[in-house]
Amino acid sequence: MDVSKAIEVRRSIRKYKDTVVEDDKLNKILESARISPSAANRQEWKFVVVKDKDTRIKLVDPCMGQKFVGEAPVLIAACSTESERIMPCGQYAYTVDLSIALSFMILQATELELGTCWLGAYDEKLVRNVLKIPENIKIVGMITLGYPDEDPDARPRKTIEEIILKDSWD
């Protein structure tokens, strides 16, 4: 599957088969994060890979009660080991860097016919406690990962004309 097809068919999956994700596939997904770009190539990140079912179940409540968090065979927490460094454009480097890395992982998973769901609804402090992540480390996002047990329809999208401006905002 080429990247255009992966972008087209990717869906947020919230129902997973009770099937183990093979190590070679998981490693390929993690490798896509490792080689993703980061500001000044600093690679100020760590990825906590959670395969233990008891730990995943403990994360359901900190993830706003989303039960599929405990049902997905894998959960990956994307963490920043960097300070509050702001890029010249005004954005925090760690949020951009880890958003890119998570996007790469999601597209790689899609190519491997695995489903994912980006999690942004969680209590960072409670997740940090469950995963024993130090206080100074930011959890930028998490994804669930596994074999989909659903095939959701594509969600509505705005037209290209509604989102693209040419040459300036006017």
What single-letter DSSP state applies at residue 136?
A: T
CATH for the 3-163 domain, from 3.40.109.10, 1.10.10.10, 3.10.450.30, 3.20.20.70? 3.40.109.10
Q: pLDDT tens for residues 83-130?
A: 789 999 999 999 999 999 999 999 999 999 999 999 999 999 999 999
CB atoms within 10 A of CB 107: 18
Segment 162-166 shows an average pLDDT of: 96
Tokens matching residue 46? 């760590």
Tokens describing residue 22: 């093979």
pLDDT of residue 83: 74
Contact 47, 30 (CB under 8 A): yes
Residue 18 has a pLDDT of: 96
C-beta neighbour count of 90 within 10 angstroms: 6
Q: Which residue intervals of the chain are DSSP H helices?
A: 3-9, 23-34, 53-58, 68-71, 93-111, 124-131, 160-163
Three-class SS of residue 84?
Answer: coil
Q: Which residues contact 35 (CB under 8 A, 6 or more apart)?
A: 104
Q: pLDDT digits over 20-43, tens only?
A: 999 999 999 999 999 999 999 999
